[in-house]
């Protein structure tokens, strides 16, 4: 069981907006920066968001990130079928001295 | 261009040893931590551990400590993940990824394509 908690699945229609939550604690999300990863079916994960809300080059601004206290959120607007993927949050845990991922959220674009 | 090229798929029997590799290029290998991550079939990502190639300093997840060894060869810019005795439960896809930033800001910015390890009698 992951220490970072994500909903197992979310879904929305094309063009709509969806948010994916990632809940942790003061030793991880509360005091460190969160990153998000997108894993398209059959491919390696890819960095989607870093330092809570910064997008790597090439990631469209339909993707956004935020953090408040011990929770982080990934937002995706203007959903496209190509966004169907598994999404993972991740951060360092300062108390445990290890990296942790959330359990992953499967996005379905209906 | 930063690249992490992983070795090919492996099929092994329980009890056998294995060493898989992650050859990097396009950046200063000794200046960044490299991590290994496991993804079991149909499951999520698990952090196994990381290595700082310049000093070969390692950090392991308690879940993997003692069962795998992470190492690096600075002369050929390559990181390794090895097992001395494989189990069927080691069947998974293994990814290497570069860890960028300082520890509070860390994130995995570049990933290898993965090495599929299948352990079966």
What confidence score (pLDDT) does residue A2 get?
62
- Judging contacts by C-beta atoms under 8 Å, the chain B residues touching residue A98 are 47, 59, 61-62
Q: Which pLDDT score, from 0 to 100, does residue B50 have?
A: 96
Average pLDDT over residues A50-70: 97
pLDDT, averaged across chain A: 96
Q: Over A24-70, what HEC string results?
A: CCCCCCCCCCCEEEEECCCCCCEEEEECCCECCCCCCCCEEEEEECC
Q: Return the residue in A33, A38, A44 with the most chain B beta carbons within 10 A, the one to mutate for interface testing.
A: A44
pLDDT the model gives residue B55: 87
Per-residue pLDDT at A1 exceeds 60: no
Cβ–Cβ below 8 Å for B95 and A45? yes
A99 touches B at CB < 8 Å: yes
CB contact under 8 A, A47 and B109: yes
| Model pLDDT for residues A13-24, shown as the tens digit of each residue | 999 999 999 999
Least CA distance to B114: which residue of chain A?
A44
**How many of the other CB atoms lie within 10 Å of CB of A94?**
15
Distance from C-alpha of A21 to C-alpha of A18, rounded to nearest angstrom: 10
At residue B86, the pLDDT reads 97
pLDDT per 10-residue tile (average), chain B, 121 residues: 97 98 96 97 96 93 95 97 97 98 92 98 95
- How far out from the chain centre does Cα A74 lie? 5
């Amino acid at each position: 069981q992951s220490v970072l908690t994500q909903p197992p699945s979310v879904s929305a229609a094309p063009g709509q907006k969806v948010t994916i939550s990632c809940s942790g604690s003061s030793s991880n999300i509360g005091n460190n920066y969160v990153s998000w990863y997108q894993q398209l079916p059959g491919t390696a994960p890819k960095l989607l968001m870093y330092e809570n809300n910064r997008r790597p080059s090439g990631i469209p601004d339909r993707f956004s990130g935020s953090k408040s206290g011990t929770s982080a959120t990934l937002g995706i607007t203007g959903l496209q079928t190509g966004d169907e993927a598994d999404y993972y949050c991740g951060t360092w845990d300062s108390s445990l001295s290890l990296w942790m991922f959330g359990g992953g959220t499967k996005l379905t674009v209906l | 261009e930063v690249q992490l090229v992983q070795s090919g798929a492996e099929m092994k029997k329980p009890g056998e040893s294995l060493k898989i590799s992650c050859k990097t290029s396009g950046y200063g290998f000794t200046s960044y931590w490299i991590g290994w991550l496991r993804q079991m079939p149909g499951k999520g990502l698990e952090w196994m551990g990381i290595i700082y190639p310049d000093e070969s300093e390692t950090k392991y997840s308690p879940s993997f400590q003692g069962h795998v060894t992470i190492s690096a060869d600075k002369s050929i810019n390559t990181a390794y993940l090895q097992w001395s005795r494989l189990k069927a439960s080691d069947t998974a896809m293994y990814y290497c990824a570069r860890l960028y930033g300082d520890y509070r800001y860390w994130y995995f910015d570049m990933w290898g394509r993965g090495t599929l390890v299948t352990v079966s009698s």
